[in-house]
Amino acid sequence: MTHLSSYPWHICGVGAIGSLWASALIERGVPVTLLLKDTVQLEQYTGAGGINVWDQECNTHTQPVAFIPSNLTPSNSNLTKIKHLLVCCKAQDTLAAILPWRKIIADDAIIILLQNGMGSAQALQRRLPKANIYCAISTDGAWRKGPFDVVRAGFGDTLIGCFSEHLLSTQIPSPIQSLLTCQNNPAQASIPSVDLVWHTDIRTPMWHKLAINSVINALTAIYQCTNGELVNHPQGRPRLQQLCLETQDVMSRLGIEPMGQGLLNTAVRILQQTALNKSSMLQDVQAGCATEIESINGYIIAQGALYYLPCAGHKQVCEDLRRICAS
């Protein structure tokens, strides 16, 4: 039997993916505590009566304990030290979401960042230099019908690996090893799962996902089109090709292993396979929410600048999207 730590996994960023993970972990006996943003989100959580996750098989209801930053008072003995933290908020919101909890985060806490985009891990490590930071990327699909009411839209894998330079890429800490092991219990086969896989070079798949997101998401948001409509879009397709060339150039300078079929072929295949889907960035624009453009295309521009690469296509989509969001 897998030994589970008495310290819970605190989850910060309880949107679709955060809710999915909270539900899956609790159903497997892993203690979970939710770190909510404010009283509004706490009221939504209370009103929903917990987390509901719907998938093809069943509806799962869980009700983990939840706190907001104002709960941080000396008299509140229910708040345990944060030693294991899963962060599922948008990359640009990472510091703002985590730092209100700083006084109860252990210096050597294990922190997993499960989010799109890049750059947040570096920023967090600068603020929490002794923290053990791991990064994860997922192909799971989920969307929210409402606050804490989540539909499981697709089943995929979640890769996780070391980010902090002081960590060994082959050494899996026991709290993460427990997560890897507890998902493989045959007796729990009917419980909705998240499939977690250890990766010794997480930087490569992170860059591959970033590359795909950078050439697809912003363009679908700019042209207000589904993934499939971008493939033959008269203005979008040439820009897709330019973004692929620029992104591959940046990846090459950084020594990132290229995609086997090339970025353009891979992007077109994904667009065709997900033809009816709306990208997360398009959904954000339509909902009037902040996008992750700075953590995706903006990060590629910043990395390209280190090698004096203009990344004109990426700069233009950033400008176009900012104009759309401001209108």
The residues annotated as belonging to the active site are 209
Written as six digits, the tokens of 79 are 């708040």
Using alpha carbons, select from 191, 231, 182 the residue that is nearest to residue 20.
191
- Identify the bridge partners of residue 113 per DSSP, sorted by sequence position: 87, 135
Gap between the Cα atoms of 113 and 231, Å rounded: 31
Written as six digits, the tokens of 34 are 């939710």
Cβ count near 73 (within 10 Å): 8
Asked if residue 72 lies in contact with residue 48, where contact means CB atoms within 8 angstroms, the answer is no
Gap between the Cα atoms of 35 and 181, Å rounded: 25
